[in-house]
Structure 1
Amino acid sequence: MGTSPRRRARSFLSQYAMRVIGSMIFLGIVGVSFALFFLESHRTVAAVIPAQAPSVLKQEQPLRVWFFDVGQGDAILIEAPNGYQLLIDGGPDADVLSKLGSVMAPWDRTIDAVLLTHPHADHARGLISVLETYRVGAVYESGATADTGVMRALRDAFASEGAEHVLVDAAEHWESGGVSFDVLWPSIAVPNADPEDPNEMSIVLSVRYGDASLLLTGDALAQDESTFGALSGDVDVLKIGHHGSASSTSEALLDLISPETAVISVGQDNRYDHPHPATIRRLSEHAIRILRTDIDGDVLLTSDGGEPVIAPAPLPF
């Protein structure tokens, strides 16, 4: 008599179950063996690597400084090794959001601090969109203001955000992730100051991480460069003041800080004819490498605490 269909099905399922269980046992043995090998190899590595070099086992992120190509304006994002983010200026429009979206994780909707160097639209307008899009922990500025639609909108955005609001001057210093930040100018912060030329109160920031050093000058003027240049000393990278205009980047400053690389944030075919030929000539005479956002696009500086590496790094948006 032949085997019934029900009995044949039961036999097939029993054999199939045994195969599945066997496969699971085999995979379990392989997994345990791999785990034991992984742990043993790490014990071996730990025994070989000296205690003073833990970074080989735990890689830390490098310092990253993005000089965004935002046209005729400034927008710089600093990311410390511990993840701390400082956005310096926001450029002339909302394009800064595309730049931030290209370098920040999609789920990252916070920025630790925003620094407004001075209240000109080509530095300030983009921050309105930033404050509407991201949660910002602190806002730094010098106190300089201007009675313009852009600044009124930005003041409203500051108020709506509810971020800590700090007026900074040459006495301000903070650190995060091993990166030190020092404000070198203006000499004193003045609440609601309305200078004839807001560039006179443009914040100048020194950034140092191990052997890497930067001087970010906003739109500071040549008349003040000897003061903050003396405070700075030698740097690796200088963000050229006022988009390379003739009113900044004096011989005195270049002699004081001896930069190896200069970054000029400037728009293509801008109506101001920035950078000025005299500025380019001074940089060339000092054998300073020049990177320009109108030619090179976005520029990225990285450092693991050693000498910085800086090069064009055009973003897709």
Structure 2
Amino acid sequence: MRKNKNQITFTALLAIALAVFFFLQQYSKANTPAGEGLRVWFFDVGQGDGIFFRTAEGVDVLIDGGPGSSVIEKLAKVLPAWDKQIDYVFLTHPHADHLEGLIEVLQRYEVSNFIESGFVAKTAGYERLEKEAMSGGEKKIIAKTGDRFDFGSDVTAEVFWPEPGILSSATDTNDSSIVMKLSYGEIDFLLTGDATETVEKGLLDDDLNSEFLKVAHHGSRYASTTAFLQKASPLVSFISSGKGNTYGHPAPEALQRLITAGSRVLRTDLSGTIEVEVGRDGRWKIVCEKTCK
């Protein structure tokens, strides 16, 4: 009789624990501070890219994962410990400084949708990532020009690149980068992956105008052309680069073009992780881990 009572007690406690877990998980998804509309983080992942955003309804989206696994630590700071679900994961293009962190993300989190450009890289890292994506049950989507993602809460993303056919002719993996405009109401973020000058030229007929720009290729001298910046006209530009990196990113030439375009420039190597909070009324503010100067 005592054994049966113990079994009943354990079962009841387990049921309560599971109920609390699922309640907390849904609570973290559905509840955000009053007036909050969209939060976007430009993670300091070193010499690479890692962007995360959460809508007012708790839809979570990760764009690239940087090199190594530091993105896991960054996610842990913005997601509750019990929240192990990410709704969308994007890989802009298959270079190690964008994909390595995603391998562990797919291992640790339940990912509903995995989106990539379709460019196939013959590297061990990319093969590991694809293996994880295939084994985890995620819905795999190949992004292309004209695709539109609706994340709810008035948050959408429109894909500007890659164009059909570019994958078969691209000689530079960066030319396959997913470029998209993330929009919340009247506020836009232009996210460029490692888009090259060639890609930027191909985008000049698109509606690039945006309040915020994620600068292409970590501030390489071969991107952020004058013509592109004139069309985008960003108020604030974010550069994701590693402190003291061997590539010299961001390049002085790119920085000067951004300044000439009238854009404020913030860098993860100087500011750490950078967060943009956009309110439901369209007002926004920027919070930096270190300094926003």
- Taking the aligned partners of 1:200 and 1:90, their CA distance within structure 2 comes to 19
Confirm whether residue 197 of structure 1 aligns to residue 172 of structure 2: yes
Confirm whether residue 179 of structure 1 aligns to residue 155 of structure 2: yes
Shift of 1:187: 1.1
Confirm whether residue 120 of structure 1 aligns to residue 95 of structure 2: yes
In the other structure, the counterpart of 2:237 is 262
Shift of 1:314: 4.8
- Taking the aligned partners of 1:98 and 1:291, their CA distance within structure 2 comes to 22
Shift of 1:287: 2.1
Shift of 1:312: 1.3
Does the Cα contact within 8 Å between 1:175 and 1:181 map onto a contact in 2?
yes
In the other structure, the counterpart of 1:287 is 262
- Taking the aligned partners of 1:294 and 1:199, their CA distance within structure 2 comes to 22
Equivalenced residue count is 257
Letter in 1 for 2:97: D
Unaligned runs of at least 5 residues, structure 1: 1-57
Of 308, 311, 317, the match for 2:284? 308
TM-score, normalised by the number of residues in structure 1: 0.78
Indicate the percent of aligned positions where both proteins have the same amino acid. 38
Equivalent residues in 2 for 1:148-297 (5 A)? 148-176=123-151, 177-188=153-164, 195-297=170-272
1:59-98 deviations in Å (ceiling 9; x for gaps)? 4532000000000000000111111111000000111000
CA distance 1:314–1:163, shift in 2 (3 Å): farther
In the other structure, the counterpart of 2:118 is 143
Shift of 1:286: 1.8
Letter in 1 for 2:264: R
Shift of 1:304: 1.4
Of 56, 64, 70, the match for 2:39? 64
Computed over aligned residues only, the root mean square deviation of the Cα atoms, in angstroms, reads: 1.8
CA distance 1:190–1:234, shift in 2 (3 Å): closer
Equivalent residues in 2 for 1:78-89 (5 A)? 78-89=53-64
Letter in 1 for 2:203: F
Deviates more, 1:224-233 or 1:242-251: 224-233
- Taking the aligned partners of 1:230 and 1:82, their CA distance within structure 2 comes to 33
Deviates more, 1:71-80 or 1:170-179: 170-179
- Taking the aligned partners of 2:155 and 2:202, their CA distance within structure 1 comes to 23
- Taking the aligned partners of 1:142 and 1:190, their CA distance within structure 2 comes to 10
Deviates more, 1:198-207 or 1:60-69: 60-69
Confirm whether residue 90 of structure 1 aligns to residue 61 of structure 2: no
Does the Cα contact within 8 Å between 1:81 and 1:178 map onto a contact in 2?
no
TM-score, normalised by the number of residues in structure 2: 0.84
- Taking the aligned partners of 1:225 and 1:195, their CA distance within structure 2 comes to 14
In the other structure, the counterpart of 1:111 is 86
Shift of 1:189: 6.8
Letter in 2 for 1:173: R
Does the Cα contact within 8 Å between 2:148 and 2:157 map onto a contact in 1?
yes
Does the Cα contact within 8 Å between 1:61 and 1:82 map onto a contact in 2?
no
CA distance 1:229–1:236, shift in 2 (3 Å): farther
1:78-137 deviations in Å (ceiling 9; x for gaps)? 111111111000000111000000000111000001000000000001000000000000
In the other structure, the counterpart of 2:30 is none
Confirm whether residue 130 of structure 1 aligns to residue 113 of structure 2: no
